[in-house]
Amino acid sequence: MSNQPDHSLSDGGLAERMARLIVHGRAPYNAEPPLDRLRASWRTAAADFYVRSHGDLPAIDAEAYRLEVGGAVGRKLSLSLTEIQAMPQATVTATLQCAGNRRADMRAVAPVSGDPWDAGAIGTADWTGPRLADVLAAAGFDRAHAQEDLHVAFACHDTVEGEAYRYGASIPMAKALAPETLLAHAMNGEPLLPEHGFPLRAVVPGYAGVRSPKWLASITVQDRPSDNPIQAGDYKFLPPQVDPDKVGPDDGITIETMPLNSAICEPARGASLPAGLTAVRGYAVCGDRTVARVDVSGDSGRTWAQASLEREAEAPFAWTFWSIDLDLPPGEHELAVRAWDAAGQTQPAAADDTWNRKGYLSTAWHRVRVTVG
Amino acid sequence: MSNQPDHSLSDGGLAERMARLIVHGRAPYNAEPPLDRLRASWRTAAADFYVRSHGDLPAIDAEAYRLEVGGAVGRKLSLSLTEIQAMPQATVTATLQCAGNRRADMRAVAPVSGDPWDAGAIGTADWTGPRLADVLAAAGFDRAHAQEDLHVAFACHDTVEGEAYRYGASIPMAKALAPETLLAHAMNGEPLLPEHGFPLRAVVPGYAGVRSPKWLASITVQDRPSDNPIQAGDYKFLPPQVDPDKVGPDDGITIETMPLNSAICEPARGASLPAGLTAVRGYAVCGDRTVARVDVSGDSGRTWAQASLEREAEAPFAWTFWSIDLDLPPGEHELAVRAWDAAGQTQPAAADDTWNRKGYLSTAWHRVRVTVG
């Protein structure tokens, strides 16, 4: 197994795929699709799926690949890709998104660190592989007699901040055993692309993408969350007054289940539109709850109308597409969208109310200015 | 078994308890405690616990009482109170609240129907009785082989709207089987008071109080949600433009898991306070998620400080108490509170954004004007 980031960046059509995306950085490679293309298909093509990396893109030899399973299990395993593919397979349709999705909207309030993601750091795919619960069972993990408060930690092949450390993260055992949580080797029926974690990644639906590590090297059952700097330090939702460089271990919320959010994908910001009905379309998403209602405004939120919703009943961890035709008079308009979840929670109106220095969990009403006429 | 509402209203100290509360109506009897008394104790005394009734208060003879268990179970049961108390018992500390809690705050936007609840239609208690899952198992319900999408319907002894119909509601089977869901005969270690459902009520933590019926008569396993008008018609969270008298079956969200909310209990609205530090205290609550952070503002939400949180780790379905000392200069101030849940969702700022004609799920920032000075 070797890490060949320079090679992989020009390998297997990656350059062509990069050209399709809005690239925020090449090393680490971070990119998102244009919003109209994102909204064009309820399942996102692998080539249009956002990429969030923290280091190199490891080039892994599938023949030599092994997944190590250890920690508080009955017996350690070292599984080849063929063995993983020979286990009972599940396919889960799930949305993954970056905790920094829509970060760009926070910059109007004050500067934020990190890549300026628009609303495209999100995508939905069919993920196929063994359920993590089955992998743990194969390693002799006995869920009926396990102690409480266990965690499953992932260690990965990608190196972060140069060669400072390998990427890692963990999830609570209850989520690890949930039927939606997989170790995926395929995305939309095809082997993972290098930038999406070939040959194996975790898929933890409903959680921030940071908890679905790519280029998986090992999984370990342990009695504490991951102490990897990615999880223990970086991905914290902090109050606005907290300096990210002076974060104590108890400061902020460790980002895990993703909050309710929604975005307008069409029309684009700044669009000039002909008179007549305007088709407004986008997505809404909520980590572990159903999106129950989406409201769209043609007048900055003074009045609202309900959008039509489109989703798949068998995919509770996937996004909801919404659409509505608005009859906008000639002139400038600020469109806005807000969603409601099944518990009756909605999004805050103002980016001021969600702003934090790292620009995480940007969930205020999404607003798009257009000119009709 | 007899229904004797007039008798029960003067029975067993009820009149004395009514005198302690803010009474919104005597028939049906609806009342809430003053907020400072609510905040004085993390567990709410039964005599201070809000009462929401939809009809009479049935006076039930405990000796003659039977709970009927039927529908899609292995065998019908008819259980005496003694038999119910002889089953394995659980105690769950949980908050219950009315879907109309804080409705009064919506009246500033536009008129709403229903009792004008302040923020006191909520309380927390220790509830004791058999888990509903154990009662179903005793009736031969086989969770491992049951069809999906089953519901447990509750029918009750209280009559609604005169004698029009008996109160009823249902919960999905997954919630019925959850360890937190009980049939409770005791509250804070004492038999239920008549107004809290003597001799037996459902306790469905995290859901709106409407799904924890009192004066339970029967439970039925069935393949559809309750068609009782209480659930099928009344308790709907509707978009503002929908007329509650013209609601179609697909309009609105059937209220179930309660959303994130918070309230300032002290100081009281309109209080005149001495100069110096002001102790601001209240509660925050979220149906099935942890309250992760509470922000308090002394200046209508322009700036915020984080409150200290107080809760019990063993009670995930109970509220969080919060407190902070604010240094307010002389003058008039609008205090505000907002909470954040573990997924990073927060409350909307303006009551306009949550207003609906029935005044349900009033979750905007709670605001209290005071004068320091």
Chain B residues near any Cβ of chain A (below 8 Å): 237, 239-240, 253, 255-260, 287-289, 292-293, 295, 301, 304, 306, 338, 340-350, 353-354, 360-361, 363
Q: Is the pLDDT of residue A222 over 50?
A: yes
Are A353 and B346 within 8 A, CB to CB? yes
Peptide bond into B28 cis (omega under 30): yes
The verdict on B221 and B325 lying in the same domain is no
Give the nearest chain A residue to B286 (CA atoms).
A343
The confidence score (pLDDT) of residue A11 equals 62
What is the rounded distance in angstroms from the CA atom of residue A180 to the CA atom of residue A202?
A: 11
Model confidence pLDDT, tens digit, residues B240-288? 988 888 877 778 999 999 999 999 999 999 999 999 999 999 999 999 9
Are B253 and A288 within 8 A, CB to CB? no
What is the rounded distance in angstroms from the CA atom of residue B320 to the CA atom of residue B99?
A: 18
Number of domains in chain A: 2
Shortest distance, CA A198 to any CA of chain B (angstroms): 29
The confidence score (pLDDT) of residue A161 equals 83
**Chain A residues within an 8 Å CB radius of B253:** 292-293, 340, 342, 344
HSE-CB for B201 with a 13 A CA cutoff: 27
Domain at B63, CATH number: 3.90.420.10
Instruction: For residue B348, give the nearest of A237, A342, A348 by CB distance.
Output: A348
SS (H, E, C) chain B: CCCCHHHHHCCCCHHHHHHHCEEEEECCEEEECCHHHHHCCCCCCHHHCCECCCECCCCCCCCCCEEEEEECCCCCEEEEHHHHHHCCCEEEEEEEECCCCCHHHHHHCCCCCCCCCCCCCEEEEEEEECEHHHHHHHCCCCHHHCCCCCEEEEEEEEEECCCCEEEEEEEEHHHHHCCCCEEECEECCEECCHHHCCCCEEECCCECHHHCCCCEEEEEEECCCCCCHHHHHHCEECCCCCCHHHCCCCCCEECCECCCEEEEEECCCCCEECCCEEEEEEEEECCCCCEEEEEEECCCCCCCEECEEECCCCCCCCCEEEEEEEECCCEEEEEEEEEEECCCCECCCCHHHCCCCCCCCCCCCEEEEEEEC
Q: Is the pLDDT of residue A2 over 50?
A: no
Model confidence pLDDT, tens digit, residues A126-144? 999 999 999 999 999 998 8
Interface-testing mutation among B237, B345, B354, B363, with chain A (most A C-beta atoms within 10 A): B345
Shortest distance, CA A253 to any CA of chain B (angstroms): 7
Q: Which residue has the higher pLDDT, A243 or A91?
A: A91
The confidence score (pLDDT) of residue A163 equals 79
The verdict on A183 and A267 lying in the same domain is no
Q: Tell me the pLDDT of chain B averaged across its residues.
A: 94
Shortest distance, CA B257 to any CA of chain A (angstroms): 5
The confidence score (pLDDT) of residue A248 equals 76
Instruction: Return averaged pLDDT per consecutive 10 residues of chain B, 373 residues in all.
Output: 41 90 96 98 98 95 97 97 98 98 96 96 98 98 88 97 91 97 98 98 98 98 96 93 80 95 98 95 97 97 96 96 97 98 98 96 98 95
Model confidence pLDDT, tens digit, residues B291-335? 999 999 999 999 999 999 999 999 999 999 999 999 999 999 999
**Chain A residues within an 8 Å CB radius of B304:** 239-240
Cβ contact A107:A116 at 8 Å: yes
Cβ contact B181:B171 at 8 Å: yes
Cβ contact A213:A154 at 8 Å: yes
Give the nearest chain A residue to B294 (CA atoms).
A239
The verdict on B299 and B219 lying in the same domain is no
The confidence score (pLDDT) of residue A12 equals 79
What is the rounded distance in angstroms from the CA atom of residue A242 to the CA atom of residue B325?
A: 19
The CA-to-CA distance between both ends of chain A, in Å, stands at 58
Q: Note whether ipTM > 0.90 here.
A: yes
Smallest Cα–Cα separation from A155: which of A223, A247, A44, A231?
Answer: A231
Where is the domain boundary, B232, B254, B276?
B254
The verdict on A30 and A164 lying in the same domain is yes
The verdict on A65 and A193 lying in the same domain is yes
Give the nearest chain A residue to B290 (CA atoms).
A253
Give the residue numbers spanning the domain of A224. Answer: 5-254
Where is the domain boundary, B254, B282, B304?
B254
Produce one character per residue of A152-185: b if its CB has 16 or more CB atoms within 10 Å, e if not.
Answer: bbbbbbbbbeeeeebbbbbbbbebbbbebbbbbb
Instruction: For residue B350, give the nearest of A293, A345, A349 by CB distance.
Output: A349
Model confidence pLDDT, tens digit, residues B105-120? 999 999 999 999 999 9
What is the rounded distance in angstroms from the CA atom of residue B207 to the CA atom of residue B175?
A: 10
Are A346 and B348 within 8 A, CB to CB? yes
Domain at B270, CATH number: 2.60.40.650
The verdict on A36 and A123 lying in the same domain is yes
The verdict on B204 and B342 lying in the same domain is no
The verdict on A266 and A135 lying in the same domain is no
**Chain B residues within an 8 Å CB radius of A341:** 259, 345
Instruction: For residue B239, give the nearest of A255, A306, A363 by CB distance.
Output: A306
Q: What is the mean pLDDT of residues A238-263?
A: 89
Model confidence pLDDT, tens digit, residues A322-373? 999 999 999 999 999 999 999 999 999 999 999 999 999 999 999 999 999 8
Q: Which residue has the tokens 């993408």?
A: A209
Instruction: For residue A345, give the nearest of B255, B256, B259 by CB distance.
Output: B259
A152 band by pLDDT with thresholds 50, 70 and 90: very high
**Chain B residues within an 8 Å CB radius of A359:** none
pLDDT above 90 coverage of chain A, percent: 89
Give the nearest chain B residue to A287 (CA atoms).
B343
Q: Is the pLDDT of residue A250 over 60?
A: yes
**Chain B residues within an 8 Å CB radius of A237:** 344
| Coil/strand/helix, residue A203 | strand
The confidence score (pLDDT) of residue A243 equals 84
Instruction: For residue A260, give the nearest of B237, B345, B361 by CB distance.
Output: B345
The verdict on B247 and B275 lying in the same domain is no
The verdict on A199 and A294 lying in the same domain is no
The verdict on B44 and B111 lying in the same domain is yes
Are B344 and A360 within 8 A, CB to CB? yes
Distances (CA, A) of A89 to A128, A133, A205, A212, B246: 7, 12, 16, 18, 48
Give the nearest chain B residue to A261 (CA atoms).
B345
* Lowest mean pLDDT across A48-62, A290-304, B139-153: B139-153
The verdict on A249 and A269 lying in the same domain is no
Its sign, for the CA torsion B365, B124, B179, A221, is positive
Are B353 and A346 within 8 A, CB to CB? yes
Its sign, for the CA torsion B347, B350, B355, B360, is positive
**Chain B residues within an 8 Å CB radius of A288:** 343
The confidence score (pLDDT) of residue B22 equals 98
Are A256 and B346 within 8 A, CB to CB? no
Where is the domain boundary, A195, A223, A254?
A254
Are B343 and A239 within 8 A, CB to CB? no
